[in-house]
Amino acid sequence: MKENILKIFLVIVIFSISININANTKTHLNVSESIENKIISFNNDDYKLFQNFPNPFNPATIISYKINQSGFVTLKVYNLVGQVVKVLVSENQESGTYSKQFDASGLSAGIYLYKLQVNSFTSVKRMTLIK
């Protein structure tokens, strides 16, 4: 019974990791002991771009991200044509968690993309503006 639960847990973990890799986020799985000993530790010390909240939004939303190494950070919002509609961050930042408000009151309703770049990390997510 416990072995079946462990197998299901491992399938979920592997599936979650593959989703994160496909979403351009970095996740590391460190196996501190063998699987037979059933001890698995996660090391999620990389960068993270969170989904904006609220989403969908009107007219403003919050975009949050986490960086664990200082570096030059850019956070930009794009329309679906690929044009930059707003630069929210373009500066050196220390490690930590940050939040920026995006006010889209001058934009038309639709889907927008936001992209975080820091050091060699890049992540893109989408958000929906409703009016």
Q: What is the CATH number of the domain that holds 106?
A: 2.60.40.3080
Residue that wins the pLDDT comparison between 26 and 14: 14
Q: What is the reported pLDDT for 97?
A: 96
Residues 65 and 116 occupy one common structural domain: yes
pLDDT of 103 higher than 60: yes
Residues 55 and 73 occupy one common structural domain: yes
* C-alpha span between 124 and 84 (Å, rounded): 13
Residues 90 and 29 occupy one common structural domain: no
- Residues 91-116, mean pLDDT to the nearest whole number: 97
Residue that wins the pLDDT comparison between 5 and 54: 54
Angle at 26 between CA 23 and CA 30, to 5 degrees: 130
Residues 26 and 62 occupy one common structural domain: no
Residues 125 and 100 occupy one common structural domain: yes
Report yes or no on whether pTM surpasses 0.75: no
- Residues 23-51, mean pLDDT to the nearest whole number: 52
Instruction: Give the range of the structural domain holding residue 118, as residue numbers without chain letter.
Output: 48-129
Q: Are 46 and 65 in contact (CB under 8 A)?
A: no
Residues 113 and 61 occupy one common structural domain: yes
